Amino acid sequence: MEIRQLEYFVSVVETSSFTRAAEKQYVSQPCITHSIRKLEENLGVDLFDRSQKKAVLTDEGKLFYTRACKLLHDMQDTMTEMNDLRTLAKGTIKLAIPPMIGSCLFPYLFTSFQTQYPHLTLNVYEEGSFAANRLIEQEELDLGIIILPEENLGTLETVRLTEQEILLTVSRNHPLAKAKSVTFADLRQEKFILLKNNFFQRHAVLKRCQEEGVEPQIVFNSGQIETVKSLVSHGVGISFLMRMALEGLVELVGVPLNPPIHVQIGLAWKKGRQLSPSSRAFINLVSSQTENALSLPMERTVSR
């Protein structure tokens, strides 16, 4: 019994015609007829009732059709699995990651991924979470490690990785550096240094300002996290960064906001999109390794 015989048989059943089955399989009708005859000889039963004008199954044929469909399905699954294993020997993933998340999580995750899958390539695009969402929806990028939207967009599949707190970020010499917590009312006279419009943190901060009736004095907008850190450390103004972005820094202090702002970090990809084996491997690794990355000991951390 050959796979081709099973495919011909299933085509005849699904089209109810030897002629249409031949057209579907791009072979001649005699080829289909001969193949079915050989199959019946091997099985020792008639699969079709030839007293009918259409291709009508016998009872034995109905049972065999069920078995043949399962065999072909299992064979296709096996071929897919083998192809996946072969594909993992090479491949490219286009990944979006905001600079703040990237600088903290990505070095550890990339090292771990490269160790397990040395032949796969990660092309990383530093984008804010809002821009990353759009690029993923447009299938310009495969995956994103982003701040998950508060409301499900309906266009993304997501996996939550961890939660982070956004802290007021000031220089260690700033008067608020020793505060246990601050409200936005305490920040009315401060100069704000914010990330650009495609970053979630900016929207979260401006939303809280609006809720508390505070008009922020924005003196600088940047898409570079290191620029923001440098300006704050030199006393140019204040900013708002995730707790993990302040780990290991002595020149910056993180002060909790009251009430706090928490964000969910997760993996995202377009809903309904067929993921490559490379992307699935990356999702599995990141899902299992993120907490390990965040638990690595950091030195010289200053945060309250």
Tens-place pLDDT, residues 75-115: 988 887 677 667 666 778 999 998 888 887 888 888 888 88
Instruction: Please check the confidence at residue 301 and state whether its pLDDT lies above 60.
Output: no
| Residues 142/212, Cβ–Cβ less than 8 Å | no
Give backbone dihedrals phi and psi of 240, rounded to 5 degrees, phi first: -140, 110
Structure tokens that stand for 275 in this block: 């993921």
Q: pLDDT digits over 254-277, tens only?
A: 999 999 999 999 999 999 888 888
User: What's the CA gap between 40 and 35, in Å, rounded?
Assistant: 9
Number of H helices, E strands in the chain: 9, 11
Instruction: Please check the confidence at residue 300 and state whether its pLDDT lies above 60.
Output: no
**Could you tell me if 16 and 153 lie in one domain?**
no
pLDDT at 154: 77
**Could you tell me if 105 and 169 lie in one domain?**
no
Which of 87, 113, 129 delimits the end of a domain? 87
pLDDT at 303: 39
Question: What is the enclosing helix (H) or strand (E) of 160?
Answer: strand 156-171
Q: pLDDT digits over 24-80, tens only?
A: 999 999 999 999 999 999 999 999 988 888 888 999 999 999 999 999 999 988 887
pLDDT band at 290 (very low <50, low <70, confident <90, very high): confident
**Could you tell me if 157 and 20 lie in one domain?**
no
* pTM higher than the cut 0.75: no
Give start and end residues of each alpha helix (H) in the chain.
3-15, 18-25, 29-43, 59-87, 99-116, 129-137, 200-211, 225-233, 277-294
Domain total in the chain: 3
Q: pLDDT digits over 195-226, tens only?
A: 998 888 899 999 999 999 999 999 999 988 99
Give backbone dihedrals phi and psi of 84, rounded to 5 degrees, phi first: -60, -45
Mean pLDDT of 132-155: 87
CATH value at residue 101: 3.40.190.10
**Could you tell me if 146 and 101 lie in one domain?**
yes
Domain hosting 77: range is 3-87
pLDDT at 295: 58
Q: pLDDT digits over 153-174, tens only?
A: 678 999 998 899 999 999 999 9
